[in-house]
Amino acid sequence: MFTTNARPPLVNSSIGNSNYVRAVAISPRLPLLVSANSEEIKIWDLDNGQLLGSLTGHSDCVRALAISPDGKTLVSAGNDNTIKIWNLEDAQLLRTLSDHRGSVLCLAFSSDGQTVVSGSNDNSIKVWNVADGKLLRTLTCHCGSVLSLAISPDGTHIVSGSFDNTIKVWQLSTGKMLRTIKGHSNWVASVAISPDGKFIVSGSSDCTVRIWQLSNGKMLRKLNGHSCWVDSIALCPDGETAVSGSSDNTIKIWQVSNGKLLRTLTGHSGAILSVAIGSDRKTLVSGSNDNTIKMWEMNSGKLLRTLTGDSNWFWSVTTNPGEQTLSDDDDSSIKMWRLRDN
């Protein structure tokens, strides 16, 4: 299942996946980056960019990746309708889960690492025990593809966003649907749960960002300002600030407590497909289909620098505590950058 690769390290350069890179995940404990292109999963050393090896087993494109909180387990899912659980310490395939009847589009781990949830274009969410791969329950109230998932920090709730324009809140322990949250007039592309577990932030193709009370589904505020689809949402670790990226080519920074628009960042000439906030809470990174990554100072909105890719779109960016940012590029490569000069 695991193939080593003796090629020299790739440092601060294109990390050479062939074909389209559909998912990336960073280990919370080890300096590892995991990427998926086509049916192959690749494992990289984040410190020096060296390709450590690859995992094979999926028979179609891998669409989602998730790493357990302890960094020991990788879960992958894709268009072959399967979920695979891997031991990241020895790169062995532990088991294959195959109960979905359609492509598996999203994954989320519980904070204790014991449970993983999956969402599919078969309109279902499935809850799995990671240790033995047992299917605990299937949640089937969405009438459209499940596009995004989040589990509350205390492990009690699942929140799902769907192509059916709704958000649903579920009890993780029983699978009971607690409420359906309606308000968006187009599909819900992204959901996030605040660090204290009290509210949900959602971004939609109806051009709005909305904040909801998790406990009762009440909409606390609707944030208007974008003139096109909201493609991505990020929350600061303190939960006080939300960032939205849109196809109107702007980034907006909002105060969560009152919905106030703090600032609008302009500079991209294309849609902002992804936003991420650095662990220092001071740096914002955005990826766009204008073929650039931009780094901004959160407090002032000042553009710090622009990183230019080789071709086409940056689909996603993420940051890790090691002060690096990673981008998923439409030229089938992942690029690794340092947020600060040495």
Q: pLDDT (tens digit, 9 = 90+) per residue, 59-86? A: 998 888 888 989 899 999 999 999 999 9
Say what the pLDDT of residue 308 is: 59
pLDDT cut 70: percent of the chain above it = 75
b/e code 173-204 from CB counts within 10 Å (16+ = b):
eebebebebebbeebbbbbbbbeebebbbbbb
- Mean pLDDT computed over every residue of the chain: 81
pLDDT of residue 2 exceeding 90: no
Write out the two tokens for 235: 């929350």
Write out the two tokens for 186: 């187009």
Say what the pLDDT of residue 291 is: 64
What Rg, from alpha-carbon coordinates, does the chain have? 19
Q: Residue 280 and residue 290: Cα distance in Å, rounded?
A: 26
Phi and psi angles of residue 210, each rounded to the nearest 5 degrees, phi first:
-130, 145
Q: Tell me the whole-structure pTM to 2 decimals.
A: 0.76
Write out the two tokens for 292: 């650039």
Write out the two tokens for 121: 């274009």
* DSSP summary character for residue 60: S
Say what the pLDDT of residue 5 is: 38
Q: Residue 232 and residue 317: Cα distance in Å, rounded?
A: 11
Contacts of residue 213, defined as CB under 8 A and 6 or more positions apart, other chains included, come to 198, 199, 219, 220
pLDDT of residue 330 exceeding 70: no
CA proximity to 229, closest of 169, 276, 273: 273
Please tell me which residue, 316 or 120, carries the higher pLDDT value: 120
Count of other CB atoms within 10 angstroms of residue 341: 5
pLDDT band at 274 (very low <50, low <70, confident <90, very high): confident
pLDDT band at 336 (very low <50, low <70, confident <90, very high): very low
Please tell me which residue, 309 or 37, carries the higher pLDDT value: 37
Q: Are 125 and 160 in contact (CB under 8 A)?
A: yes
pLDDT of residue 88 exceeding 80: yes
